[in-house]
Structure 1
Amino acid sequence: MPVMHFKVRWPDGHEIDCYSPSVIVSEFFTPGTHYPVRDFVSRSKEALNIASERVREKYGFACSAAMDQLAQIEELAERFTDESAAVTVLELC
């Protein structure tokens, strides 16, 4: 199953590399695009849940790494309450 990484920059300038066990994230994010934090979390949740389910379909169990990645994204997002705060997707690889 092809994996995909996506690098993002949080509103405070902090950059992280995120993991997905599926290329599905390329349907939810475009490099160079700014997403309001809530939208980014929502898109991440949907994409990573789909990716985890694809793993379940293929191997019989959900992808804990995808769920760990989602938990990290949700935790980081809690720091940004300003509605104008945005996450930038830097690259998909």
Structure 2
Amino acid sequence: DGTKRNESSFSWQANEPGVHFIGLTVDDGLGLENSVAKESIRVLINRPVKAVVASQIASCTGQTVLFNSSQSFDPDGDPFSVNWNFGNGASSD
């Protein structure tokens, strides 16, 4: 993003996903060759929530079935919500 810093330590936040190249130049001010280091940082888009459904595979008419999504998770640690869709227009939060 073209940002230049003069601190020995700082935080940075990417505005876009992709590979970002970071360079560090160290100059002792005595006119000798500077020390240069370069790194790349791969910034990912927020990864999708992993939906894990635990339920019975088969059921009989009139039998109650327990659906459980408690093993679902967001790999980035962000909060998420659950909405069940039963394919017949009925849903449950």
Fold in common (TM above 0.5): no
Give the TM-score, by structure 2 length. 0.28
Higher helix share: 1
Larger Rg: 2
TM-score by length of 1: 0.28
Which of the pair has the greater relative contact order for Cα pairs under 8 Å at 6+ separation? Answer: 1
